Chains A and B, each alone.
Chain A
């Protein structure tokens, strides 16, 4: 197959996969695609600036400003969707990096015959897992400071251990299955069996969980910002926007509602996809 042909077949195979998804997961994919597209387009297309005051502070929703204006008089629709950029990037990085590290470390620990490695990784992983997530995250932030970058590191540092645990369990089951013996008899090296056969199976397990963690990470980002440890204020971000809204809950509830709606829809779409993947990895 030529490179061009395989490049052509990529979108086609993606389309086929999409069609094979169960209905709810397809709805999830459509929701997320729409949110991301709006997130990228709204700040550009919107007549209002992300950071500039465009009207009276705490103004109620109107036709021009469907979600109303925030305490600094900025358009909440524009900012709610502007937040997609940072929130989704944080979530992708905050999930993908720990997922990758966790699966590989856990998968190798579950496969190796070296007692020391197995025990050592087990201790580390269980130790991190035993700690409450938010406390650890706050601890990391205390050391490296606030801001989006610090937050990603905090999340990655705490969540890789959960993937590692999942992957380790899966790998330990897989390595005792007969197919591993069959592949050894075919002369495949240990490294090849681990990398090409055991780790991919671990990934299908962890990715399913990763997708649902996506929601969790978005909520964590929001929670950390809410506690003042996340994204710094002028940057639009759902958590800090909602924290801001909390103060005006009585007089201007729309400040909290706007980002809340977008956040909820995103979380809903992601969890639809996550459920489908989980079903599949069990199959």
Chain B
């Protein structure tokens, strides 16, 4: 469909394991326009991360199709991601300690990504990398030292800077603050919101925390056991949930 940046129809993902098949996603439809944000909530194991991985091309769907900005990246006769589409979708992962190459300086990580996508003189690429890191709150000194001294929040910022290097249109954030403390979480959420506004990014925000999703997104999908339980505008779903499962999720949220 024209106009939509992300267009997912009837997505199914099945993991084939030695014992039995896991039906991780069982029918998900999703459209997201440019600059819009959609949340996915559900308890652990409900299939949220699998949706994220399917969207970015890390796991192949068993059926259904995914279109990004008009390119068919998954589905029948799909070409998959190619250089012409690969930059469009990037992802932030949950574990800040596993998201960065342990041996690479933050600056080099961002620099490598910039130079991979644009042929720039090294000095200019370096300046851009430092600017990008600065825009997520990482100083030049932090950028040029080892990772060891950096906190979870700072690592998450670096992951965000690296994901922004190819100037993507869609950012998929899979529980990006679940392993951070409350004040680090606030800082990362502010950052995500700011870059979304500045760059007109579409954001898929995954969390088991309804508060986060309510705060960040316009639309929401509630998942359980791979099924979509409820889907619609965030305010409507959270204020007038029609499904018992959604009501239970809301009741569990403290404060």
| Touch test A–B (CB under 8 Å) | yes
Which residues does A use to contact B, with CB under 8 Å? 1, 177-179, 181-188, 196-197, 200-201, 204, 283
Asked if B90 and A179 sit within 8 Å, CB to CB, the answer is no
**Which one of B1-9, B81-89, B131-139, B203-211 contacts A?**
B81-89
Which residues does B use to contact A, with CB under 8 Å? 53, 56-58, 81, 83, 86-87, 89-91, 93-95, 98-104, 112-113, 116-117, 122, 148, 159, 162-163, 165-166
Known: A187-B116, A200-B103, A201-B101. A178 touches B86 (CB 8 A): no
Would you list 18 pairs from A and B whose C-beta atoms are within 8 A, ordered by A residue? Answer: A177-B99, A179-B99, A181-B91, A182-B91, A182-B163, A184-B58, A185-B56, A185-B86, A185-B90, A185-B91, A186-B113, A186-B116, A186-B165, A187-B81, A187-B86, A197-B101, A200-B103, A204-B103
Closest Cβ neighbor of B58 among chain A residues: A181
Asked if B57 and A182 sit within 8 Å, CB to CB, the answer is no
| B-chain residues with CB within 8 Å of residue A197 when the two chains form the complex | 101, 103-104
Closest Cβ neighbor of B108 among chain A residues: A196
B200 CB → nearest A CB, Å: 20
B115 CB → nearest A CB, Å: 11
A102 CB → nearest B CB, Å: 19
B69 CB → nearest A CB, Å: 15
Asked if B166 and A187 sit within 8 Å, CB to CB, the answer is yes
Asked if B101 and A179 sit within 8 Å, CB to CB, the answer is yes
Closest Cβ neighbor of A184 among chain B residues: B58
Closest Cβ neighbor of A204 among chain B residues: B103
Distance between Cα atoms of A182 and B94 in the complex (Å) = 12
Distance between Cα atoms of A283 and B150 in the complex (Å) = 13
Known: A179-B98, A200-B103, A204-B103. A185 touches B58 (CB 8 A): yes
Asked if A178 and B93 sit within 8 Å, CB to CB, the answer is yes
B176 CB → nearest A CB, Å: 11
Asked if A181 and B93 sit within 8 Å, CB to CB, the answer is yes
Listed from nearest, the 9 A-B pairs whose CB atoms lie closest are A178-B93, A177-B98, A187-B86, A178-B98, A178-B99, A197-B101, A186-B113, A200-B103, A179-B101
| A-chain residues with CB within 8 Å of residue B104 when the two chains form the complex | 197
Distance between Cα atoms of A177 and B58 in the complex (Å) = 13
Distance between Cα atoms of A213 and B166 in the complex (Å) = 43
| B-chain residues with CB within 8 Å of residue A196 when the two chains form the complex | 112
Closest Cβ neighbor of B57 among chain A residues: A185
